[in-house]
Structure 1
Amino acid sequence: MKKSSFAFALFVLLGLLAGSIVGQLLAAVPTLSFLTTGIVLEWHPKADLHVLQFDIWFRFRLHLLNLLGLLFAIWMYRKL
């Protein structure tokens, strides 16, 4: 089976999403806080060109469960 970049991007996105959902479900468990505590990366580009103005906000929340979901998704993709 030929592997496409769209399928890889879909697997990565689903892996990150699954890790995020599991992280939210386990956030209430204090003994697993090392899995759910992470970092927040923000990027806020702005431009005012007098004709066109835009303001975009990107926020990435990364924790260990996101990375585990990502690694699992890549492993599953390679198994295809």
Structure 2
Amino acid sequence: MTQLTVRRVEEAWVAKAKALAAERGVSMNTVLVEALAEKFGDVAKAKTNGLEKFVGSRPDGFGGEFDEAMEDCGRIDEDGWK
């Protein structure tokens, strides 16, 4: 790995990188390294099944009944942890 300095960078690019870093809770360096890796493709990307876009979502029609049915899943059997 190496370090480098980049000059004459558009202010708008810097603002976008800072905003994305803050949104994701990572450093601006991480955002920029990922952007370089994506552009030049020399760094192996983590394999994905493409389903991460569905995390935390559920189709319309699920609601109160679903949440009610799932309540038992959140209960902890205290005796089972002894």
- Please say whether Structure 1 and Structure 2 have the same fold, judged by a TM-score greater than 0.5: no
Question: Which structure has the larger Rg?
Answer: 2
TM-score, reference length from structure 2: 0.25
Higher strand share: 1
